[in-house]
Every structure is written in structure tokens, then in C-alpha cells.
Copies of this chain bind each other. A is one copy, B any other.
Amino acid sequence: MPNTKKPDSSRRSERSRQAIFAATRAMISEAGYGKVSIEAIAARAGVGKQTIYRWWPSKGTLIFDSILALSEDAEGQGIALPDTGDIEADLKLVMRATVAEFADPDFERPIRALTTEIINDLDLVTQYQEKLARPMDDAKKARLRSAQQAGQLAADADLDLVLEVLYAPLFQRWLHRSGPLTAEYADALVDITLRAFRP
């Protein structure tokens, strides 16, 4: 069944890409954004640094892609939220997974290191918004629009505000380590968001 597989060169590229992403995330966790170099990432990933320069124009875009890759599916095919027609069930599935990720040191450490940088760097936070936050938010908003069409969410709800009410409490609790990150908390955030924005 050769058509179900990617050609060898494409699979090799994907392996290199994932190795580069893993090396990038590991190094920003350990050393912080400022001290990580393309050379060091290339050495750790076992690729030539020209490979990295060919695929990414800057360290920032590589780092944001490496974080975005955590949310892609196994084929590297981008991000989409589940849509079973039940917004409460779908959001609880997503938020439970998200809360579990932020409770996982391997996931949260590179994002904490990155957050430290972007909150103090106007250029980097702009790149973050464009390369990482917007694609994630667009995927979430597509699911919220489907819920609006199904009459499960107010048709006039400001979707940026919906996403803030859903995610910002988790972001703040994680960043300030101010409370437990549990499945019950994930469910409570979904319940309260749907209550605030119901039709």
C-alpha cells in the first residue's frame, strides 16, 4: 500500500523537523530564550545548521513553530478542535488536555521560559501573536462559531472575550502557581464560560 505512506525523503524531513523542535524546546527550557543559539540546536538535533536556516528565517519563528508543533496532530497537519456537535463535551475534552499539559513539566517549562521573554520584548510578543497565538485562537474560534450556529453560544458573543474567559484563568493560575491544575478546574472553566455566553 505505498500510497498510504509518505515518500522516504518527506519522512526523513519530518523526522529532522521533529528532532529540531524537540531540541529547541529542551534548550529554551534549560537555558532560556536569550542563551539558545541555532548552532546549539542544530548540534543537539543532529542536523546541519544550514537545514535550520533553510526552513526558518529567525530564532523566534523556530521557537514559536516548536511550541505550535505540540498542538499539531501526529502527521504535523495543523490544529483543529473536535466538533461532535456538543460544545460542552468538546471544550471539556480540550480544556482537560490543556490543563494536563500545563501541569506537565516537559510541556510547561519551555512555555514558561518563552513567556518570560515575550512579556518583556515588544518585537518578540508581536511575533508570538502572529506565529503562535493567532493560529491557535483561529482554530478555537472556528469551533466557537460552529457552536454559535448551533445555538449553544450567544450569536453576538465577542469570541476574543470568550477565549479570554476560558483560558486566561488557567494561564494566570499556571503562571502564578496559585491553585491546582485539575480536570475539575478544566470543567469549571468550561461551565462558567458557557454560562456567561449562553444565548
Contacts and interface: CB of A to CB of B under 8 A. Distances in A.
Interface string A105-120: 0000000100110111
B171 A125 contact: no
A178 interface: yes
A179 interface: yes
A51 interface: no
A110 to B, nearest CB: 13
Contacts of A176: 118-119, 125, 128-129, 133
A139 interface: no
A119 B118 CA distance: 13
A161 interface: yes
A164 interface: yes
Interface class of chain A by DSSP: helix
A168 B168 CA distance: 5
Residue among A120, A125, A168, A197 facing the most chain B CB atoms (10 A cut-off): A168
Nearest to A117: B116
Interface in A67-119: 112, 115-116, 118-119
27 contacts: A112-B119, A115-B119, A116-B116, A116-B120, A119-B175, A119-B176, A128-B176, A133-B176, A133-B178, A158-B188, A160-B179, A161-B169, A161-B192, A164-B168, A164-B169, A164-B172, A164-B173, A165-B165, A165-B169, A165-B196, A168-B172, A168-B173, A171-B171, A192-B196, A193-B196, A195-B195, A195-B196
